[in-house]
Amino acid sequence: MSRDNILHRIRTAIGRSAGQAVADPPPVRLHIPEADMESRIASMIVRIEALAGKAYRADTGKNACATVAAAIAGKTAVASNAPYLAECGITALPGVRSGITDRDELRQVCAAADIGITSADYALADTGSLVMLSSPQEARLVSLLPPAHIAVVPRERILTGLDELFTVLPNPAIQTSSMVLITGPSRTADIEQILVRGVHGPGQITVIMV
Amino acid sequence: MGKRVSLFVTCIVDQLFPKVGMAMAGVLERLGYQVDFPENQTCCGQPAFNSGYRGEARLVARHFLDTFESCETIVVPSGSCTAMVTHHFAELFAKDQAALARVHALEKRVWEFATFLTEVAGVEDVGARLEEVVTFHDGCHGLRELGIRDAPRRLLACVRGLELREIEPAEECCGFGGTFAVKFAELSGAMARTKIEAIERTGARTVVSLDPSCLMQIQGALLRAGSSVRTMHLAEVLASR
Amino acid sequence: MSAEFDQKIHTTLADANLQLAIYTATGRLKEKRVESVAPGILPDYQELRTQANAIKQHSIENLDHYLEEFERNVEARRGKVVYCKDATEVADFVLGLAKERRARLVVKSKSMTTEEVDLNERLEHHGLESVETDLGEYILQLAHERPYHIVAPALHKTRYDVAEIFTRTLHVPNEIVIEKQTAIARRVLREKFLAADIGISGANFLVADSGAVVIVENEGNARLTTTAPKIHIAVAGIEKVIPRAQDLATFLKLLARSATGQLLSVYTSFLAGPRRPGEIDGPDEFYVVLLDNGRTKLLPDRTKRQSLYCIRCGACLNTCPVYRKIGGHSFPWVYSGPIGAIITPQFMGVAHEPSLPFASSLCGACGEVCPVKIDIPKILLELRSDVKKSETREKQNRIEKLAFRAFAFLMTHPRLYELAGRMGAAMAPSDGGSWIRNLPAPMNIGPVRAWLSQRDLPPPPAKSFREMWRRR
Ligand code: SF4
């Protein structure tokens, strides 16, 4: 009903007929700059710190695990089911819940935990962003409900920026039902333009690049 | 004998600020131009165009075409009126091919005064002298439609004895806007007051602009606010010695 | 001008605190935008604007095609697309679904499109609780107000206003520290998120080749809205569709910068359908409501249809000297500032507030900052002409019409023009060339009176330019 009506109104207004072929859209504009790994990591650190996040380098998964352990320091944490976290030994740390596959349980645990630990599919160096693709290994709420988020990212996953991301993933819908870019801690400036972190999502973000 | 230029002084200069026109003519003559004033000229039609009266604006625009078509180069002491001719005449005659061809032939020959000096005459130093601390107000149409930023500043920089101080925040409207100034008088007045506060913060004693209409708004508001800051058209500054 | 419009402008101008709040907030956003697009930081800013404009133009020129492609791709991933022509259809759809699923609570993330159709009121009217979750929107919902600004909805509220609203409506102790106010909202809304049956979001982009909805935000409330409840409904105007996911690289670089000066907003969610097999969380049902609500009326005219390119960044509001004086609530509809001035008359009809397109000095600052290069001043001018064409023969309009006829007549008859000018000059008081502050009653009328209400008027000179020229 409204569907056909609206499409008909559109076609009449713009002078097209149903199914009429379309000229090519303007060429895609993606320019990937040259940037070696060292400068990508350096840029990640600058960007994340500029957003009041913390960024660390770790030589090995073990070192990353030690950094996470220090951050947990007696608090409770929930880790996603990303195999990489288990490889680093993070899921075995005291205080860390992992391996949850039930939705309601995940919600409860995430709502109560102090820290959510995830990996990330990619990171974007020029903005300091994490790219999270939702999957059975990587649930959405782990990086969202707890007041702090720690992400452990293998360094080869650091891309230069959006242009490279959309070159690697020309259509993210093929891979996932949800891709989220996270750039710094949750924030608002809705009252008097005063910046407050951690309004609905995590107020603290830590990125460890392995 | 020097090259010929024709003045389009605009209706506001003709009726309210004739000295601006005389100053402009003087500067051009000093540079060796032979200046004429086509007597049939009136207005560019902008008041009607901006008020939504396109039919009326078209009549006036056509009169402008008739008056200036035979002129080789036309110089205008206003960014706004220049933009009306060079940017909006084509819109007015979009459906009239014959008139449109005339517009396109003419619009390249119409120059705002400061840009004419720097781009066509190729001068920056016109030999002016004025002992004064001034600030410069960018008229919006000159700035955004014609892209005039540097020309007036380069000209002012060569005026002996003159010190230029920039307005902060720069590039903000004075609130004139043609009939807007009277249709939304209170709002226009509030915009003008914000502008003159910024002008006063520069410490300058004189505001210079390319647009007589901005200057009318600014001077009117300065006087009403009891300020001693005065306005001058760029042509008047360049005519000083 | 309607008395209401006039009155609202007057009240806002007269409120010194509000003036300061608007001016400071927009000034800060404006500065941050300028810094974030500076050549040293974003060297290809102008090329990105050109590209964004070209993509939007192409999308609108082929709108039916991309909507159908979008629809196919959403449905291929088990989502559903619902076309709605107006506010009632949107509300009916949501209410119908809520009834079927026995839903009682809706959480909403910020969406100008749902403001446009008064969705909250309509849902609440039928007993479905609907809670705004963006902090600013939440404050306004509690205060029963419309957004003041499309990006910073509660821009006009101080911490003291918020304290009053919270104590009155949430019955919490008076709290004036902004961090603590934020924490109160987080606590209250967290419960709502976890209890909600339906999440309703807006959409910044609809991606045709992916069937995805893209939502950009800073707080995390849109993520929660689209993740926690079992049903996600995105409500978007039909104009939001773009061809390819790869185009996002262009738009995302422009959007956050233009809005708040951030390089990217904190969260950019690209959502393509309900959760897939094996995924632990995410919605089970995914709907996209494609709303017309007057948009198709904008399509026939090539210039005016540019209004549909808007990505709602708010940059034009922050830079607009008129918005910065009269604020958001003076505008007659939900959209304020330059974009409001061009879409309100087109969505609602020019008669809704005929003077709206005239409430501009045509300074052009909006067009200069618009990331998708909408020629806002040009559209304002066209709308002015539309208003004049549609105006009825009411007295005020007749006088103006006559005045412009006379203007055109004089300006095409140079001799009469000169004569009229000299007559005017002869009538004006001459006071040694000083500017006029007052005029005697019979002359102090109409535009002259309006001018003199704010500023002094230049006295007509002894000789016009043409007289001086002749005699030199
Ligand atoms: S019109 Fe342009 S500047 Fe204004 S909100 Fe829309 S996209 Fe932003």
- What pLDDT, in 10s, does the model give residues C192-239? 999 999 999 999 999 999 999 999 999 999 999 999 999 999 999 999
pLDDT band at A170 (very low <50, low <70, confident <90, very high): very high
Return the H-helix or E-strand segment holding B47.
helix B46-50
Residue carrying the six token digits 């939900």: C334
* pLDDT at residue C2 greater than cutoff 90: no
Map residue C320 onto helix, strand or coil: coil
Closest CA of chain C from A101, distance in Å? 6
Indicate if the pLDDT at residue B91 is higher than 70: yes
Q: Confirm or reject contact between C359 and chain B (CB < 8 A).
A: yes
Domain A34-209, CATH:
3.40.50.10420
What part of C 145-204 touches B (C-beta under 8 Å)?
A: none
Q: Hey, what amino acid is at A186?
A: S
Q: Which residues of chain C from 22 to 41 reach within 8 Å of chain B, CB to CB?
A: 23, 27
Give the length of chain C. 472
Per-residue model confidence (pLDDT) at position B1 = 52
Interface of C with B in 375-404 (CB under 8 A): 378, 381, 384-389, 400-401, 404
The mean per-residue pLDDT over the stretch B103-117 comes to: 97
Indicate which atom in ligand 1 lies nearest the CA of residue C258. Answer: 8
Give me the mean pLDDT over the A66-89 stretch. Answer: 96
CA distance C454 to chain A (A): 31
Nearest CA to C342 among C373, C313, C374?
C374
Contact: C182, A191; criterion CB under 8 Å: yes
Average pLDDT, stretch A100-127?
Answer: 97
Residues facing A158 on adjacent strands: A123
Q: If you measure CA to CA, which chain A residue comes closest to C266?
A: A183
So what's the pLDDT on residue B211?
97
Q: Which of C159, C211, C244 sits opposite A28 (nearest CB)?
A: C244
Q: What is the set of domains in chain C, with CATH numbers?
A: 44-293 (3.40.50.10420), 297-390 (1.10.1060.10), 428-472 (no CATH)
The residue to mutate among C316, C336, C376, having the most atoms of ligand 1 within 8 angstroms of its beta carbon, is: C316
- Condensed to tens digits (0 to 9), the pLDDT of residues B162-183 reads 999 999 988 999 999 999 999 9
Closest-lying ligand 1 atom to the alpha carbon of residue C338: 4
List the single residue in A102, A127, A191 with the smallest CB-CB distance to C178.
A191
From C339, C343, C376, C380, the mutation candidate for ligand 1 (largest count of ligand atoms within 8 A of CB) is: C339
Q: Are C332 and C357 in contact (CB under 8 A)?
A: no
Band the pLDDT of C392: cuts 50, 70, 90: confident
Closest C-alpha to ligand 1, atom 4: C316
The pLDDT-based confidence of A47 (bands split at 50, 70, 90) is: very high
d(CA C227, CA C218): 16
A167, A146 Cβ separation under 8 angstroms: no
What's the pTM? 0.96
Other CB atoms within a 10 A radius of the CB of residue B137 amount to 26
Q: Is the pLDDT of residue A1 over 90?
A: no
Query: How far is the alpha carbon of A168 from chain C, nearest alpha carbon, in Å?
Result: 10
* pLDDT at residue C432 greater than cutoff 80: no
> For B144, which DSSP code?
I
The count of other CB atoms within 10 Å of the CB of residue A20 is 11
For residue C441, the model assigns a pLDDT of 85
Surface-to-core class of residue A114, CB atoms within 10 Å of its CB (0-12 exposed, 13-18 middle, 19+ buried): middle
- What value does the mean pLDDT take over residues B95-112? 97
Higher pLDDT residue, A99 or B2?
Answer: A99
| Residue closest to C271 by CA, chosen among C236, C313, C239 | C236
Q: What is the mean pLDDT of chain C?
A: 95
Q: Which residues are bridge partners to A56 per DSSP?
A: A208
Reported as a pLDDT band with limits 50, 70 and 90, residue C420 is very high
Residues of C in contact with A32 (CB under 8 A): none
pLDDT value of residue B226: 96
pLDDT at C472: 85
Q: Is the pLDDT of residue C430 over 90?
A: no
ipTM of predicted complex:
0.98
Find the mean pLDDT for residues A197-209: 97
Using a 10 angstrom Cβ sphere, with 0-12 exposed, 13-18 middle and 19 or more buried, the burial of residue C91 is buried
The answer to whether C194 contacts A202, with C-beta atoms less than 8 Å apart, is: no
Query: Which pLDDT score, from 0 to 100, does residue C408 have?
Result: 97
Does A contact B via 3+ CB–CB distances below 8 Å? no
Sort out which chain B residues have CB atoms less than 8 A from C400's CB and list them: 51
**Residue B51: which of C367, C404, C424 has the nearest Cβ?**
C404
**What single-letter DSSP state applies at residue C359?**
S
Portion 310-339 of C in contact with B at CB < 8 A:
321-322, 325-326
> Quick one: pLDDT at residue C113?
93
Closest CA to B179 of C207, C414, C448: C448
CA C405 to each of CA C321, C400, C410: distance values in angstroms, whole numbers, following the listed order: 31, 9, 9
Cβ neighbours of A106 in C, within 8 Å: 280-281
Of all atoms in ligand 1, which is nearest to the CA of residue C317? 4
Q: How many CB atoms lie within 10 A of CB C442?
A: 7
Residues with Cβ within 6 A of ligand 1? Answer: C 258, 310-316, 338-339, 369-372, 374
The protein residue whose alpha carbon is closest to atom 8 in ligand 1 is C313
Portion of chain B with pLDDT greater than 90, in percent: 98
Q: Determine the residue of C307, C318, C374 to mutate for testing ligand 1's pocket, defined as the one with the most ligand atoms within 8 A of the Cβ atom.
A: C374
CB contact under 8 A, B184 and C468: no
Contact C48 A163 (CB under 8 A): no
| Closest C-alpha to ligand 1, atom 3 | C370
* Residue C99: band (very low, low, confident or very high) from pLDDT cuts 50, 70, 90: very high
Q: Closest ligand 1 atom to the C-alpha of C307?
A: 1
Q: Which of B18, B144, B189 sits opposite C364 (nearest CB)?
A: B144
C249–A188: do the CB atoms touch at under 8 Å? no
| C420/C216 Cα distance (integer angstroms) | 59
Residue B216 in this model has a pLDDT that exceeds 90: yes
pLDDT at C393 over 80: no
Domains of chain B (ranges; CATH) run 4-118 (3.40.50), 126-239 (3.40.50.10700)
Contact C359 B175 (CB under 8 A): no
Mean pLDDT, chain B, as a whole number?
Answer: 97
Residue C428, pLDDT above cutoff 90: no
- Considering only CB atoms, C282 lies closest to which of A5, A20, A178, namely A178
- Contact assignment for B59 to C412 by CB distance below 8 Å: yes
CB C156 within 8 A of CB C18: yes
Residue B59 with chain C: CB contacts under 8 Å: 408, 411-412
- Chain C residue with the nearest C-alpha to that of A30: C249
Of the candidates C273, C303, C292, the residue with the CA atom closest to the CA atom of residue C377:
C303
Nearest to B216 by CA among B5, B7, B11, B4: B11
With CB atoms and an 8 Å threshold, state whether C414 touches B181. Answer: no
Average pLDDT over residues C108-130: 94
**Among residues B184, B183, B147, which one has the least CA distance to residue C364?**
B147
Nearest to C220 among A100, A127, A200 (CB): A200
Question: Model confidence over C231-251: pLDDT tens digits?
Answer: 999 999 999 999 999 999 999
* Residue of the CA atom closest to atom 6 of ligand 1: C310
Average pLDDT over residues B195-199: 97
Mean pLDDT to the nearest integer, C90-94: 96
Mean pLDDT for chain A overall? 96
DSSP C368-432: HH-TT---HHHHHHHHHHHHHHH----HHHHHHHHHHHHHHHHHT-HHHHHHHHHHHHHHS--ST
Arithmetic mean of pLDDT, B91-100: 96
Taking the C-alpha atoms of residue A193 and residue A171, their distance in angstroms, rounded to an integer, is 36
Rounded to 5 degrees, what angle do the CA atoms C441, C446, C448 make?
Answer: 75
The token pair that represents C107 in the structure block: 């959480």
Ligand 1 mean position to C341 CA, how many Å? 11
pLDDT digits (tens, 9 = 90+) for C12-41: 999 999 999 999 999 999 999 999 999 999
pLDDT of residue B202: 97
Tell me the mean pLDDT in the region C330-354: 94
Residues on chain B touching C435 (C-beta within 8 angstroms): 219-220, 223
| Residue of B56, B173, B220 with shortest CB distance to C408 | B56
Size of interface B-C (CB pairs under 8 A): 205
Residue indicated by tokens 């002491």: B77
What residue has token string 């003008």?
Answer: B192
The DSSP secondary structure of B51-118, one letter per residue, reads: TT-HHHHHHHHHHHHHHHTT-S-EEES-HHHHHIIIIIHHHHTTT-HHHHHHHHHHHTTEEEHHHIII
Q: Which of A97, A110, A65 is nearest to A201 (CA)?
A: A110
3-state SS, chain A, equals CHHHHHHHHHHHHHCCCCCCCCCCCCCCCCCCCCCCHHHHHHHHHHHHHHCCCEEEECCCHHHHHHHHHHHHCCCCEEECCCHHHHHCCHHHCCCEECCCCCHHHHHHHHHHCCEEEEECCEEECCCCEEEEECCCCCCCHHHCCCCEEEEEECHHHEECCHHHHHHHCCCHHHCCCEEEEECCCCEECCCCCCCEECCCCCCEEEEEEC
User: pLDDT tens across C253-310, in order?
Assistant: 999 999 999 999 999 999 999 999 999 999 999 999 999 999 999 999 999 999 999 9
Return residues 432-451 of C near B (CB < 8 Å): 435, 437, 446-447, 450-451
